[in-house]
Structure formats: structure tokens, C-alpha cells
Amino acid sequence: MRTTALTNTHIIFGLLVGLLLFISPTTTHALEDCGFTRSLYVGVTGEDVVCLQQYLNETGNTIADSGPGSPGSETSKYGSLTEAAVLKWQQSKGVAGANGVFGPASQQTYLEDILSQLQKQANAQTTTSTPTPTPQVAGASTSDDEEREDASKRLTSVMNMILDTFDELEDLRDDDEEEAADIEEDVRDIIKDLFESLELFFDEDYDESEEMAIETLDDATDAFEDAGGESDKSKAEDAIDDAEDLLEDVEELFEEAEDKDEDTGDADEYIDDAKDYIDDAWDAFDDGIYKQAISDAFDAEEALENAKDEIDLVSDDDADKAVNNAWKKYNNAKDEIDEAEDDGEDVDDAEEYLSEAKRKLNKAEIALDDDDAEEAQDLADDAEEYIEEALDEIGSSNSDDEDERDDAEEMIEDAWDEFDDAWDDVYEAEDDGKSTKDAEEYLEEAEEYLEDAEDAFDDDDYDEVEDLVDDALDAIEDALDEL
């Protein structure tokens, strides 16, 4: 049976109260969009024209105050009054090429309008309303409440994903109009599935509603990615893959340490924890709870980093980094000694120490080639000691540099902690049914700043570290403001 989408504002309110506050809606109106499959213009007749007129009247773009076309008296004919109302609506919505013809661009805007109204109501209701407590009877089950909540979260995720897809289509339309049109057609089908899920929800068939919403969310995610977006699904899969790669590396390091009878501390316990987190991440991924999957993957990586710290064995990567950092310090010290020589200072002893440092580093390179990570690490440490002696000989000490380095390292670590805390707030907000897209974009920006800060730290550019960390903290603050 064909019905109109949200034929009055009470339907919108009833939908959101029922969906987000878990109160059964009083209306029995079936939810389904108009399903436009053609352009509408003067002279066209049909039930889709009736649906359009109802929508226009409901949104304040009244066809007529009385008689044919007025609220409650909508007709199947697209006449001059309908054309004028459509033009008024197009201009209010900023539809490109507004001319009173209800074509593809107008139909997409119509769909966006329905969903945006739902989302705005959702955000308003979840921040200003409190669900009415349900009287509890001894022995009564709360499973229905939990099923309602699970289904409502799925439905809200679908709405958010569809709106995100519309945002991506704006850019895609400029690059590939035909591809954008194909995706828009897919989105129309997705919206129909969404309304079917909502009908199941209102029929209190929460399990079926959630199951259909999960399938619809998968389709919406595919459409979002086809339009050029990076979905939480993709991010979750990448995060889990990264965690599994790190797990493989740490397990190899653990086995190597055991073969050499090196102390492994509690590494095996951390590795087991990481495996559990990865299993949880895949379970959440399969259930479509992608942000939880990402969080579990991050927890797995943290456990694996703790495992690495427990293993008393120098890895090839650690040795390689140590040698590279020592070479950077060598080059910086050489520049400083050259400057001192230009200033007329006696640098003979400093150069001898620096030459010894270079010899140690050359031997460290050989040790790396021989896969002797521990020897390479020891030689790199010896080289840094000679570099410090060289700097001391020209009246310089790297103690200030060490303090500055420690400050920069602490600055980065504190910023990462705030970054992780912000993601926790995002996950909590999404669980509450709020839109978190803008906050996530700010956090992605913050992550880039922090990664750049780590690169600057490796280059001993501590002023740049401070600037990048400040930028990251500003982005984190913007993300929290969005919530």
C-alpha cells in the first residue's frame, strides 16, 4: 500500500520519541517515502503528485489555502499552483536551477530534508528529554527495553550514514554526475528499507527491525564508500588489521626472546589480552558496531605495546631507530663543532670524540646488516656518549637539549592521552544516538598533527613539536565542542 512520507509534523515527533526515547508512538501511520521515479511538472498527473502536494503543504509551502490542493484536499494534478509552491520550496532549499519542475535534484533535496528533520529531532530529543521510567514488576523482564534500545541505535546509525552519503554526493556530482545518479538511486532504495525497519519498530518487532537495520546499514555504508567517503566500517577493518599485524610482530619478538632465554616478564599475559581484544573487535565488527570494533582494536595495540615493553630484547626496528637517531645527533654535533671552529675555538679534542662516535656508528650499521640488533643498540648508545663528550669539549652541553627533548616527549604523550579520551567521548555520544561526524573529522585532523609532531620529534625539531601539539589540542577541543 502506498502512503506518503511523514504526512504531518506529529509523525516526525512520534517517530523520534518512539525511536530514541523508546516510547511507543500513538500514531499508526505507515512510514514510506513518496518513491518518486520520474520528474514532475505542469500537466503531469498521478499519486506521486498527491504525495508531493501533501509534503509541500506539511512543510509550509502551501498549494492553496482552500479548495483543490489545500491541506487535506490534495489532488493528483500538477498545475500552476503546484508549480509555484515547488518553486518557492526550491528557492528556500537552494536547489540549483530552481524552475518549478520537481526533477532529480529536487527529489534528492526532498529525501535529505526528511532525514535531516529526523536527525535534528533526534539530537534535540536525546539532549533535552529523559525517558519516562517504566514501572517494574517483580520478576518482569527488561529484555524488551534492551531490544528497543539496540534497534533504535541501529536505525539512528542508518539515518546518519545516509546523511553522510548525501554530503559525499555533493562533491562526486561535480566529478562524475552519472556515477552520482546511480548512487542516488541506491540511496533511494536504502531509504525505503529504512522506513520498513521503522514500521517493524513501531510494530514492536524489535529483533526484526534491528536485523533489517543492520542489513540496511551495510548497504548505506557501501553507498557512502562508493560516493568517496571513508566509513567507520573501513576504519574498523583497517584498525583490526593493524592490530593483527602488530600481534604477529610481537609474537615473533616473544618467541625470539624465549629462544635466547631472555626475560619476557608478563608479555604472554598482555599478548593473551590483545588476542581477546581482537576477538572482541571482530565480534563487534560482525555486529556492525564499528566504533566499538575500533576501540577494541586500539586496546589490543595498547596491550601489545605493553607486551613489547616487558620483553628484554632489542628488536630490529628499535635498533634501527636508535642508530638513525644517533646519526642525527652526530650530524647536529658536527655542525655545531664546525661553527665553533669558525668562531676560532679549539675543536681538536671535540673532533676526536666525534670521530670515535662515527666509528661506533659505522660498526652499528654493520651489526644491523648482520641482524645483530643488540650489538647495534649498544654501539649506538656508545656513539651518543662520544657525541656528548664532543659537545662538552667546545663548551656546550646537550643537557639543555635533553631537557627540551624530554619536555617535547611528555607533551606528545599527554596530547595522545587527551586524543584517546576524546574518542571515548565520541563513542559514548554515538551510543546515545548523536551525530559525531564533525567531531570525528576534527579528531582525524588531530591525529595527523600528532603524527607530524612525532616526526618532528625524531628530527629533534622541538619548536615544531610544540606548534603541532598545540594544533592537535585545538582540534581535539573543537571535536569536543561538536559533541
Sign for the pseudo-dihedral over CA of 430, 434, 437, 442? negative
Output b/e per residue, 95-114; b: 16+ Cβ within 10 A. Answer: beebebbbbebbbbbbbbeb
Does residue 136 fall inside a structural domain?
A: no
Percent of residues, the chain, with pLDDT higher than 70: 84
Based on the fold, state whether residues 180 and 113 are members of the same structural domain: yes
* Final residue before a domain boundary, out of 260, 286, 310: 310
Does residue 4 fall inside a structural domain?
A: no
Cell (9 digits) for 127: 539532549
**Contact yes or no for 172/228 (Cβ under 8 A):** yes
d(CA 25, CA 8): 14
**Contact yes or no for 105/90 (Cβ under 8 A):** no
pLDDT in tens, 393-405: 886 544 556 678 8
**Contact yes or no for 310/270 (Cβ under 8 A):** yes
Based on the fold, state whether residues 194 and 244 are members of the same structural domain: no
Does residue 430 fall inside a structural domain?
A: yes
* Final residue before a domain boundary, out of 271, 293, 310: 310
Terminal CA-CA length for the chain: 40
Does residue 139 fall inside a structural domain?
A: no
d(CA 167, CA 388): 56
Q: Could you give phi then psi for residue 25, rounded to 5 degrees?
A: -70, 150
User: Residue 441 is part of which domain span?
Assistant: 401-482
Residue 135 gets which letter from DSSP? Answer: P
3-class DSSP state of 179: helix
Based on the fold, state whether residues 215 and 79 are members of the same structural domain: yes
**Contact yes or no for 102/84 (Cβ under 8 A):** no
pLDDT in tens, 356-369: 999 999 999 998 89
- Identify the CATH number of the domain in which residue 21 sits: 1.10.101.10
3-class DSSP state of 45: strand
**In one letter, which amino acid is 31?**
L
Does residue 368 fall inside a structural domain?
A: yes
Based on the fold, state whether residues 200 and 293 are members of the same structural domain: no
Asked if pLDDT for residue 476 goes beyond 50, the answer is yes
* Final residue before a domain boundary, out of 230, 264, 293: 230
d(CA 87, CA 451): 50
Chain mean pLDDT for the chain: 81
Does residue 328 fall inside a structural domain?
A: yes
Alpha-carbon dihedral 241, 306, 321, 364, rounded to 10 degrees: -120
Based on the fold, state whether residues 48 and 111 are members of the same structural domain: yes
pLDDT range class, residue 81, cuts 50, 70, 90: very high
Number of domains, the chain: 4
Based on the fold, state whether residues 280 and 325 are members of the same structural domain: no
Residue 125: predicted pLDDT: 47
Based on the fold, state whether residues 251 and 221 are members of the same structural domain: no
Does residue 384 fall inside a structural domain?
A: yes
Does residue 369 fall inside a structural domain?
A: yes
Based on the fold, state whether residues 253 and 176 are members of the same structural domain: no
Based on the fold, state whether residues 47 and 161 are members of the same structural domain: yes
Based on the fold, state whether residues 21 and 150 are members of the same structural domain: yes
Residue 118: predicted pLDDT: 61
Residue 152 gets which letter from DSSP? Answer: H
Residue 159: predicted pLDDT: 81
Percent of residues, the chain, with pLDDT higher than 90: 27
Based on the fold, state whether residues 109 and 97 are members of the same structural domain: yes
Tracing cell 517515502 back to the chain, one arrives at 33
Residue 124: predicted pLDDT: 53
pLDDT in tens, 339-359: 888 888 888 999 999 999 999
Residue 110: predicted pLDDT: 83
Tracing cell 657525541 back to the chain, one arrives at 387
pLDDT in tens, 192-244: 888 888 888 888 888 888 889 888 888 888 888 888 888 788 889 999 999 99
Based on the fold, state whether residues 304 and 373 are members of the same structural domain: no
Helix (H) and strand (E) counts for the chain?
16, 0
**Contact yes or no for 294/436 (Cβ under 8 A):** no
pLDDT in tens, 16-74: 333 333 333 333 223 345 667 788 999 999 988 998 998 898 888 999 998 998 998 99
